[in-house]
Amino acid sequence: MTFIRNFITCIFSIIQISMRTIKILLMLLLTASQSALAFNQKTDTVIVTNDSCGIVQFIVTIDNTDSEALWIWLDSNDYGHDRKKAIRRYLMKRRGDFSIFDIGADPNMIGEWWHPSAPKYCFVKYLEPGKTFTIVFYSEKALTPNCWNCKNAIDDIRVFSDREINEYCPGLEAPYSIKRISYPHNVIAFPIKADKLSDTISK
């Protein structure tokens, strides 16, 4: 009897461990599916010849092939895989910058709300399904070939789903708020401030 009781206890323990393992695997699968976004990103390098100086442009095009909107911005901080922290820190940090898009004066305005005096590195782009957005990094002087590595700048491009934004930063889905903070154009450009692109984006 003792043997049978121990055997049954062992079987139940194995079943409990298996159920916990399955639960963990399902949670990991759900997390992976939530962070998988459908968009195409292409990078082109263009050299513009002017007065014998090669001016370099790195052109990054993001094509939203997903069924929901995407949010795009630049951030050079490393958050690992913590997408919640990446979203909340950036949007809360930039709240003061976003206040220049004040819609309180005229909530019916549908024009371009991007204030020309705003620092462009604090932009946020709300990209609707089927739309394309282009980010151009360009040099104000000729760069030598060994400085053409655009990996740092590309790594600074953050892309999140509309679902993630609403989950981690509730309130942004309120009426007019998307138009209030979204950069209104389809192309934005950033000068390369130094001989390395990692110095381009302000922290």
pLDDT digits (tens, 9 = 90+) for 35-65: 456 677 776 666 666 555 566 778 889 999 9
Q: Looking at residue 110, what is its pLDDT? A: 40
HSE-CB of 178 using CA atoms within 13 angstroms:
14
Tokens for 184?
Answer: 């209104």
| pTM for the whole structure | 0.64
pLDDT digits (tens, 9 = 90+) for 147-195: 556 666 677 889 999 888 888 877 665 655 666 677 778 888 887 764 4
Q: Looking at residue 159, what is its pLDDT? A: 92
Q: How far apart are the first and last CA of the chain?
A: 69
Calculate ∠ Cα 92-97-103, nearest 5°: 100
Q: Looking at residue 131, what is its pLDDT? A: 92
Distance, C-alpha 16 to centroid of its chain: 39
Other residues' Cβ atoms within 10 Å of the Cβ of residue 117 = 5
**Mean pLDDT in residue range 6-25:** 52
Locate all alpha helices (DSSP H) within the chain, ordered by sequence: 2-35, 83-93, 95-98, 151-155, 162-168, 177-181
**139 contact partners, CB below 8 Å, separation of at least 6:** 55, 56, 57, 191, 192
pLDDT digits (tens, 9 = 90+) for 84-135: 888 888 776 655 545 434 434 344 444 344 444 445 556 788 899 999 999 8
Using left for φ > 0, alpha for ψ between -120 and 50, and beta otherwise, residue 36 falls in beta
134, 5 contact by CB (below 8 A): no
Q: Looking at residue 74, what is its pLDDT? A: 85
